[in-house]
Structure 1
Amino acid sequence: MPHFSLEYSSNLDEIINISDLCDALRVAGIETGVFPMAGMRVRAFACDHYSIADGKADRGFIDLSVRLRGGRSLEVRKTATQAIFKAAEDFLADAMAKHPIALSMEMRDIDPELSPKLSSIRNFISGEG
């Protein structure tokens, strides 16, 4: 694991390729060296109903939530948070220069004793075991 969930204002579908953003975040997560490739999950949810800042229709937001199994040190989580947020910043730089967009992120632990997991993905990925 981790699970990356993007919640974003649907007006951004017109200016950002959200699928490409998801993939960029997946790659950034793997490149941290903190998360196993087979455990990466990135998904996005568009919000059709929202009100931002002064209420103008062109305002947008992206909120990235990263949930991961507990056990990593604060320093490791901080480093991973910085790398993932930087990847999001870099991907969104052009869009944010031209459009009013708020970007936020939160990383939090999941209690491993209360979060059972089952996956056959590793059985289908070359080099994973």
Structure 2
Amino acid sequence: MPHIQIDYSPNLENRLDVAGLCRVLRDAAVETGVLPLAGIRVRAIRADHVVIADGNPDHAFLDIVLRLRGGRSDEAKARATELIFAAAEDYCREVMETSSFMLSMELRDIDPRFSPKASSIRKYLPGEPA
């Protein structure tokens, strides 16, 4: 059930292919080896109303939240955080080098007792057990 949510400032859309970032983060999540493809959901939400630092409208931000269902080791969570953030940093490198930009990420554990799930997606993914 790994969810990756990206919140970003609206002025980032003319500096970065946000849909492309979604694909890159999905691929990085799979490459961690600890997040199953069938459970990954990546979404990006533009924050239309923002004030960043001193209010300069040229400032931009992108914040990534990785939500994981509990049960993974600290090592697995650290690996996932490190690899996904590295992919985001690499993808956003030009924006960071050429403009005022903040990039952040946080991993959140979800207690499975309070997070019921239902899905039929595995039936539609080649090579996945149903």
Q: After TM superposition, what 4+ stretches of structure 1 lie above 2 angstroms from structure 2? A: none
In 2: Cα distance, 1:76 partner to 1:126 partner: 25
The gaps in structure 1 that reach 5 residues or longer are none
Report how far residue 18 of structure 1 moved: 0.4
The secondary structure found in structure 2 opposite 1:14 is coil
Residues 1-129 of structure 1 mapped to structure 2, 5 A cutoff: 1-129=1-129
Matched AA of 1:19: A
TM-score (norm 1): 0.98
Matched AA of 2:13: D
Matched AA of 1:69: R
Identity of aligned residues (%): 52
Matched AA of 2:116: P
Q: What do residues 46-98 of structure 1 show as CA deviations (whole Å, max 9, x unaligned)?
A: 01111111211110001100101100111110111011000000000011111
For these two proteins, the number of residue pairs brought into alignment is 129
Report how far residue 108 of structure 1 moved: 1.1
Q: What do residues 11-58 of structure 1 show as CA deviations (whole Å, max 9, x unaligned)?
A: 101110100001100000000000011111000100111111121111
Q: CA RMSD in A?
A: 0.6
In 2: Cα distance, 1:36 partner to 1:59 partner: 35
